Amino acid sequence: MCPTTKNPTKNLAIESLFNPKTVAVLGASRNAGKIGYKVCENIVNGGYEGKLYPVNPNGGEVLGHKIYENIASINDEIDLAILTVPAKFVMNSVKECVSHGKVKNLAIITSGFAEIGNEEEEEEIVRVAREGGIRVLGPNIFGVYSAKAKLNSTFAAGEIPAGNVAIITQSGAIGIAMIGKTKVENIGLSTIISCGNKADIDDNDLLEYLATDDSTHAIMMYIEGIQNGDKLVPLLKKLSKAKPLVVIKSGRSERGAQAAQSHTASLAGSDEVFDAVAKQCGIIRADSLEEGLQWCKYLVTSPPLKGKECVIITNGGGVGVMGTDACEKYGIPMYDDQKELEKAFKSVCPDFGSLKNPVDITGGATPEDYDHCLDAALNNDKIHSVICLGCETAVLTGSSFKSIVQKQTAQYRNKKPLVFSLVGGEEMENAIRELRREDAPIYNDVEPAVACLGTLYSYTNFKNTKEQTLVDPPVDIPAIKEIIAKVKADNRTFLLTEEAQAVMKAADIAVPQNRVESSADAAAKAATEIGYPVVMKIVSKDIIHKSDAGGLALNLKNEAEVKAAYNQIMTNCKKHMPNADLKGVEVVEMVDIDVETIVSARRDNSFGPTVMFGLGGIYVEVLKDITFRAFPLSEKEILEMIESIKSYQLLKGARGKNPKDITAAVDAIAKVGKILKEIPEITDVELNPIILNDEGKGVRAVDVRILLAE
């Protein structure tokens, strides 16, 4: 578990962490095999221009720098103190830093805290540091690299290339591996920072800083779990408008999530919720390190997308079809103005080629034919991006095509996005590797190339969406709070039917007509007044699963059936739970069920209040046609949420049926979200099923379940 006792003075600027003028290494060692030596070595070899203060009680000298016996003897401000002392000495070192009085940030490399269950000491370290005005990064990290400070205070092997991609990683080992990969891929970094156990400085702090850091043009994050997600959501939305954020979130599988929990002591949230919230916030989610790094590189090197129309140029029908499929998958619209396509490519395409998109210049195409075609696409204002696909042939080889790829990459770089995908043998693969090192956007398969361009499309689409006003529907919150207070006084964590319905009334969400009666005769009278057919349900605080207890009867059409059902329900429930307190039976109008949906709000471990919408009733578990969003939301976002389920056509009125009241569904989603947001004791509000009536006729929340925190 991660510490929750964060200091109220949290918003201390962390600028000095990324641009320190002075760095102390506590645990600096003269032994070249130790981490305390490696960190000093990287700082020195990385060309750090600030002051370095190694600290070790043994004194001496390391890499030409005097070793101070303790931090107290350093008569200077310390912007960043890096701890490489064993866990048992960390607390003492932190106290020494506090006593020094001029330490601003601590980066604790040392392991052995919350990740192995030692939360208490970790919390204490943060408390002591924060009381001394010091921010803490880690513990359990590999250090910090910051290009602007020329500071490599990690214990990674070798140098880190400077550039404009920032990497935040929860896992130190993955971070070190990524440093190696960025070198292979020729990706320059503005910073790479591992946040380990996130005892104090967390993703929110780092993203907030990077959002406004001019030297960072794209951010890649590796995360296992999220804390303070409700605060993270607005920050992510804002950040994704400013620069692309590519996230690799592990723990997709249930076992993976468990491993993540024990790995860095974080709570991995439900992956479905993460996926949906990521989309909502404009996050680009990658599945692998390779994918994430390639996307970041493409996003920082590609010119901006100024329109939507994409053209594929190919020498083979097969890869053309693969490219078309991938375009659909990644939301890239294919340009299909046939007249314009002919105008653009007629003079550069052989007569037996195809001027439809994909433009097929056939298997005989030479590098020069590609060159002419790419020139034509570049000079046509109606074409906004180009996917250039090629299969190796005798007239199109890696070496013969190389110079054209170089020339066109340079030509396109400031004008419009371009990707190449070349498929072939070893010679082609070698050429691709070399071209990639020169930053050409070239891949050895169709899908990765199109996926890269797809990330630019999704980032641009999100960036261009206008900010919407968040919903704030009228809900009588004080009335609901009163109901909750009574439930709590009764020592219950769930609401009885009539209480849940009273909550619905306070939110003005319609429920079926109903009455609670305590005799068969009264039930029959109520049914006659409501109108047949009716449904009958047991009312008891002791029975939650009514049908399991035989406490439910459907489609009762007359007085006789109602009376018989009343007696049967009572007999069943007494047998099921002899000591249950049976208050009576609820007689409910039987709603005409056309399309059952589910609207629910949950307090998610990671993101706080989240809402869910989908096909309801028994279909929830079977079809799982559901979608999530973090609350609060705009009306447009809720509408998009409803439109995103696979069964949306059913709601629009498939096969001659009337369209359903989607406006009322939007209203219900907004209201359950607000209830959860405003009343912290409530953990779940589930309307399942909620029937969407025909357009203009509202909704009926047939079954309402409201749960409180234990």
Q: What is the nearest approach in angstroms of ligand ACO to the Cβ of residue 446? A: 36
Q: What is the nearest approach in angstroms of ligand ACO to the Cβ of residue 109? A: 5
If one asks whether residue 110 binds ligand ACO (CB under 6 A), the answer comes out as: yes
Closest to ligand ACO by CB, 88 or 437 = 88
Q: Which stretch binds ligand ACO (CB under 6 A): 23-31, 361-369, 474-482, 544-552?
A: 23-31
Cis, bond preceding 533 (omega within 30 deg of 0): yes
If one asks whether residue 599 binds ligand ACO (CB under 6 A), the answer comes out as: no
Closest to ligand ACO by CB, 35 or 615 = 35
Q: Which stretch binds ligand ACO (CB under 6 A): 85-93, 252-260, 370-378, 629-637?
A: 85-93
In this chain, which of 14, 16, 24, 29 binds ligand ACO, going by CB under 6 A?
29
Q: What is the nearest approach in angstroms of ligand ACO to the Cβ of residue 27? A: 3
> Would you tell me how many other CB atoms lie within 10 Å of the CB of residue 663?
13
If one asks whether residue 84 binds ligand ACO (CB under 6 A), the answer comes out as: yes
Quick check: helix, strand or coil at residue 538? strand
In DSSP terms, 360 is beta-bridged to: 314, 354
Angle value at C-alpha 368, between 366 and 373, nearest 5 degrees: 100
In DSSP terms, 694 is beta-bridged to: 660
Q: How many residues bind ligand ACO (CB under 6 A)?
A: 29
Among 417, 424, 423, 416, which residue's Cα sits nearest to residue 446? Answer: 423
If one asks whether residue 172 binds ligand ACO (CB under 6 A), the answer comes out as: yes
If one asks whether residue 387 binds ligand ACO (CB under 6 A), the answer comes out as: no
Q: What is the nearest approach in angstroms of ligand ACO to the Cβ of residue 61? A: 12
Closest to ligand ACO by CB, 34 or 241 = 34
The span from the CA of 163 to the CA of 299, in Å, is 13
If one asks whether residue 240 binds ligand ACO (CB under 6 A), the answer comes out as: no
Closest to ligand ACO by CB, 28 or 187 = 28
Among 232, 256, 221, 4, which residue's Cα sits nearest to residue 114? Answer: 4
Give the residue at shortest CB distance from ligand ACO: 172
Q: What is the nearest approach in angstroms of ligand ACO to the Cβ of residue 255? A: 21
Place of tokens 């390779």: 290
User: 631: number of CA atoms within 13 Å, CB side?
Assistant: 25
In this chain, which of 6, 21, 34, 183 binds ligand ACO, going by CB under 6 A?
34
If one asks whether residue 111 binds ligand ACO (CB under 6 A), the answer comes out as: yes
Closest to ligand ACO by CB, 57 or 304 = 57
If one asks whether residue 56 binds ligand ACO (CB under 6 A), the answer comes out as: yes
- The backbone torsions φ and ψ at residue 684, rounded to the nearest 5 degrees and listed phi first, read -145, 135
Q: What is the dihedral of CA 284, 285, 290, 296, to 10 degrees?
A: 20
Closest to ligand ACO by CB, 58 or 491 = 58
The pair of structure tokens assigned to 190 is 């503005």
CA–CA distances in Å: residue 77 to residues 23, 81, 312, 650:
9, 10, 58, 66
Q: What is the nearest approach in angstroms of ligand ACO to the Cβ of residue 198? A: 13
If one asks whether residue 248 binds ligand ACO (CB under 6 A), the answer comes out as: no
Q: What is the nearest approach in angstroms of ligand ACO to the Cβ of residue 208? A: 23
CA 397, distance to chain mean position in Å, is 41
The span from the CA of 498 to the CA of 478, in Å, is 17
Q: What is the nearest approach in angstroms of ligand ACO to the Cβ of residue 294? A: 24
Q: What is the nearest approach in angstroms of ligand ACO to the Cβ of residue 480? A: 46
Closest to ligand ACO by CB, 89 or 532 = 89
The span from the CA of 68 to the CA of 432, in Å, is 51
Quick check: helix, strand or coil at residue 386? strand
If one asks whether residue 266 binds ligand ACO (CB under 6 A), the answer comes out as: no
The span from the CA of 38 to the CA of 25, in Å, is 11
Q: What is the nearest approach in angstroms of ligand ACO to the Cβ of residue 610? A: 31
Pairing mode, strands 61-62 and 704-708: unpaired
Closest to ligand ACO by CB, 31 or 414 = 31
User: What is the dihedral sign for C-alpha 491, 497, 501, 502?
Assistant: negative
In sequence order, what E strands does 395-500 have? 418-423, 442-443
Instruction: Please report which helix (H) or strand (E) contains residue 6, including its range.
Output: none
In DSSP terms, 660 is beta-bridged to: 694
Quick check: helix, strand or coil at residue 305? coil
Give me the 466-485 binding string for ligand ACO, x by CB under 6 A, dash otherwise: --------------------
If one asks whether residue 390 binds ligand ACO (CB under 6 A), the answer comes out as: no
If one asks whether residue 85 binds ligand ACO (CB under 6 A), the answer comes out as: yes
Amino acid at 392: E
Footprint (CB under 6 A) of ligand ACO, residues 116-145: 140-142
> Could you list the residues that contact ligand ACO (CB under 6 A)?
26-27, 29-31, 34-36, 55-58, 84-87, 89, 92-93, 109-112, 140-142, 172-173, 176
